[in-house]
């Protein structure tokens, strides 16, 4: 990379769009007089997949507000706006080096493999000292995860990792023992939603001048991308994010655990936190969220199953998923253990389907760039698995539709959790379910043109025959899975007529999809 000016002696600190934290390692010891902080809206990152319009708007607005907060605190920030035509992160870096002629460059390691590879190339080619620091916002370092996983692990289980993380962080611990007498209260977290229990009303955040400019930019430049841009009411500043966290802890957290698996038509969030986007882009740290949740439990404001449920998702699942990603990349991206190859149906983009559960979950995704975990896993994900959709297409869809989506967290959830495409590296059996599960956990089936109680025929819920067809298609892969022994035995005992009907219905349904 060429340098055109004499060095001014300061450090250039390059902060990526998902690193919007004041305590970021790249900002450690920043000198307000000599250093320049670089933040850039760049073409390549905004378009390597066709992100949901709200995802781009959320991130650009959060980046702009973060830059303004840094300036307010006395730092020098070079913020490159999208309309300056910066092609890529490398282009941004080159332009900033040319303009500011720094002595050195510092950055925090990228969360995605693709971007970390770029950082390594820059380190070798930039022509001045470039340091890539670890991302200390995660609880578990890469080294620690590798040590925990051991040499060439054949499979890993979140539950054991989670216990290590409880010991490491001390969350909900009483000495060496878990508070409440057990590690995991998941069993208490599968209640059906009582009809008279209302979901709390979320706070909304007014669009200010800066966000208005971002919305105009996205409307113009990303007109054909997926999703609804407005209404836009996300928190986009650190102050708003903290306000939202307070609201969640006081209002939704008490019921978070108990109704974690429930779904209700017209209620996209129920008691879920919707904190993922704020945590992943850096406006909130996972540590402060967990600290606050534990504090609420110690104060007697929330039950143990709520506090443990939330903390498990963050120090357990979130960290575990990241560990798997870095352990398995880059080959993980190409996993396809079940040789699934169907194209994504059109209704993934339009939400126009007669399957009401999918219509609701994809419709809410389109409107909000958000769906909660059970919609992602047991409705949309379950369909992708049973229908045999191509893992590459499914990965791309999940990466672009959610405002919290970055490859490090999306990929293991898609490849390992919903598609079993890694052959069960961390899921002991596939998350496959018939319509009965969706009926038990939601009110979707009551409003559907299909009949969830019917197993075969034109009116039958497609999940019912697709479930068995999936098992028939993949019999060899699951025959030896001891957790599937009972279900595979039912398959072995199934009569030929029944099998024919399942195959016929599935073929008819899948053919009309394409
Ligand atoms: P809550 O239910 O309130 O959970 C609290 C927090 O726990 C979340 O904010 C999140 O930080 C963490 N968490 C919970 N489950 C997971 C998990 N499986 N993996 C990682 N973190 C978890 N999450 C993302 O942040 N980005 C993604 O791109 C993403 N893609 C997913 C794709 C699929 C197929 C599936 C099944 C899950 C995916 N998740 C992803 C995980 C999870 O669904 C979301 O984190 C969650 O729905 C976000 O909503 P929330 O903040 O209301 O979560
Ligand atoms: C997702 C995203 C988008 C849409 N735009 C930018 C951007 O303009 N500038 C930037 O620095 N980062 C952006 N990101 C996040 C990156 O694509 C990438 O996901 C993270 O930096 C993780 O490594
Ligand atoms: Fe979904 Fe089947 Fe229920 Fe319809 S009947 S909402 S397709 S589970």
Q: DSSP letters along 58-124, please?
A: HHHHHHHHHHHHHHHTT-EEEEEPGGG---SHHHHHHHHHHHH--SEEEEEPPSSHHHHHHHHHHHH
Nearest ligand, CA 55: 2
174: part of which helix (H) or strand (E)? strand 173-174
C-alpha 510 – ligand 3 centre gap (Å)? 16
DSSP string, 7-37: --S-EEEE--TT---TT-GGGTT--TTT-EE
The protein residue whose alpha carbon is closest to atom 14 in ligand 2 is 17
C-beta 270 within 6 A of ligand 1: no
Q: pLDDT tens digits, the chain, 514 residues: what are they?
A: 333 344 467 999 999 999 999 999 999 999 999 999 999 999 999 999 999 999 999 999 999 999 999 999 999 999 999 999 999 999 999 999 999 999 999 999 999 999 999 999 999 888 899 999 999 999 999 999 999 999 999 999 999 999 999 999 999 999 999 999 999 998 877 888 998 999 999 999 999 999 999 999 999 999 999 999 999 999 999 999 999 999 999 999 999 999 999 999 999 999 999 999 999 999 999 999 999 999 999 999 999 999 999 999 999 999 999 999 999 999 999 999 999 999 999 999 999 999 999 999 999 999 999 999 999 999 999 999 999 999 999 999 999 999 999 999 999 999 999 999 999 999 999 999 999 999 999 999 999 999 999 999 999 999 999 999 999 999 999 998 999 999 999 999 999 999 999 999 999 999 998 7
pLDDT of residue 5: 43
Pocket test for ligand 3, best of 445, 451, 506 (most atoms within 8 A of CB): 445
Nearest CA to 309 out of 403, 373, 265, 368 is that of: 373
Q: Do residues 228 and 332 lie in contact, with contact meaning Cβ atoms separated by under 8 Å?
A: no
> What global pTM score does this model have?
0.97
Q: Of 1.10.579.10, 3.30.1490.100, 1.10.3720.10, 3.50.50.60, which CATH number belongs to 347-513? A: 1.10.579.10
C-beta 409 within 6 A of ligand 1: yes
For residue 316, what are the CA distances in angstroms to 227, 287, 308, 377, 382?
31, 13, 10, 17, 22
pLDDT of residue 188: 79
Using the atom order of ligand 2, give the atom closest to the CA of residue 89.
11
Q: Do residues 34 and 124 lie in contact, with contact meaning Cβ atoms separated by under 8 Å?
A: no
pLDDT of residue 8: 62
pLDDT of residue 414: 98
pLDDT of residue 187: 85
Using the atom order of ligand 2, give the atom closest to the CA of residue 19.
21
C-beta 275 within 6 A of ligand 1: yes
The protein residue whose alpha carbon is closest to atom 3 in ligand 3 is 445
Q: Where along the chain do its domains lie?
A: 11-133, 142-203+237-328, 347-513
Rounded-to-integer distance, Cα 140 and Cα 319, Å: 7
Q: Do residues 118 and 90 lie in contact, with contact meaning Cβ atoms separated by under 8 Å?
A: yes
The top-level CATH class assigned to 142-203+237-328 is mainly alpha
The protein residue whose alpha carbon is closest to atom 7 in ligand 2 is 41
Nearest ligand, CA 115: 2
For residue 91, what are the CA distances in angstroms to 1, 64, 222?
10, 19, 21
User: Are both 11-133 and 347-513 of the same fold?
Assistant: no
Please state which CATH number belongs to domain 11-133: 3.40.50.620
**Structure tokens belonging to residue 232:** 């836009």
Ligand 2: lining residues by beta carbon, under 6 Å? 16-18, 40-42, 45-46, 51, 56, 59, 110-112, 115, 406
């Amino acid at each position: 990379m060429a340098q055109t000016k004499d060095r001014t002696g300061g450090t250039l600190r390059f902060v990526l769009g998902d690193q919007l934290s004041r305590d970021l390692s790249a900002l450690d010891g920043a000198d307000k007089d000599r250093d320049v902080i670089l933040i850039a809206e760049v073409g390549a990152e905004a378009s390597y997949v066709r992100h949901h319009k709200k995802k781009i708007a959320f991130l650009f607005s959060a980046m702009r507000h973060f830059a303004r907060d840094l300036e307010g605190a006395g730092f020098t920030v070079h913020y490159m706006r999208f309309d300056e035509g910066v092609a890529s992160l490398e282009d941004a870096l080159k332009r900033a080096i040319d303009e500011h002629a720094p002595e050195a460059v510092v950055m925090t390691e990228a969360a995605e493999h693709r971007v970390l590879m770029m950082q390594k190339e820059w380190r070798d080619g930039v022509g001045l000292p470039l340091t890539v620091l670890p991302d200390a916002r995660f609880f578990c370092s890469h080294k620690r995860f590798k040590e925990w996983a051991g040499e060439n692990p054949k499979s890993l289980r979140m539950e054991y990792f989670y216990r290590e993380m409880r010991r490491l962080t001390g969350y909900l611990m009483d000495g060496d023992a878990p508070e409440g007498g057990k590690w995991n209260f998941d069993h208490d977290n599968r209640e059906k939603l009582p009809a008279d229990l209302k979901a709390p009303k979320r706070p909304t955040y007014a669009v200010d001048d800066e966000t208005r400019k971002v919305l105009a930019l996205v409307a113009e430049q990303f007109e054909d991308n997926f999703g609804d841009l407005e209404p836009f009411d996300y928190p986009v500043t650190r102050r708003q994010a903290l306000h939202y966290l307070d609201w969640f802890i006081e209002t939704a957290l008490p019921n978070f655990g108990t109704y974690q698996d429930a779904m209700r038509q017209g209620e996209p969030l129920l008691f879920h936190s919707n904190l993922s986007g704020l945590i992943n882009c850096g406006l909130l740290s996972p540590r402060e969220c967990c600290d606050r949740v534990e504090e609420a439990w110690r104060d007697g404001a929330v039950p143990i199953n709520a506090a443990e449920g939330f903390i498990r998702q963050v120090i357990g699942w979130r960290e575990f998923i990241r560990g798997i990603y870095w352990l398995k990349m880059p080959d993980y991206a190409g996993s396809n253990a079940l040789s699934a190859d169907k194209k994504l149906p059109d209704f993934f983009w339009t939400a126009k389907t007669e399957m009401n559960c999918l219509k609701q979950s994809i419709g809410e995704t389109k409107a909000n760039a958000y769906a909660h975990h059970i919609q992602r896993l047991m409705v949309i994900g379950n369909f992708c698995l049973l229908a045999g959709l191509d893992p590459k297409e499914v990965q791309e869809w999940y990466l672009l539709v959610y405002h919290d989506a970055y490859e490090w967290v999306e990929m293991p959830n898609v490849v390992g959790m919903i598609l079993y495409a890694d052959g069960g590296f961390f899921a002991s059996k596939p998350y496959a379910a018939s319509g009965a599960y969706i009926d038990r956990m939601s009110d979707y089936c009551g409003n559907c043109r299909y009949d969830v109680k019917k197993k075969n025929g034109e009116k039958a819920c497609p999940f019912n025959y697709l479930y068995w067809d999936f098992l028939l298609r993949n019999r060899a892969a699951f025959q030896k899975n001891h957790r599937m022994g009972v279900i595979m035995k039912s398959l072995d005992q199934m009569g030929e007529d029944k099998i024919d009907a399942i195959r016929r219905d599935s073929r008819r349904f899948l053919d009309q999809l394409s």
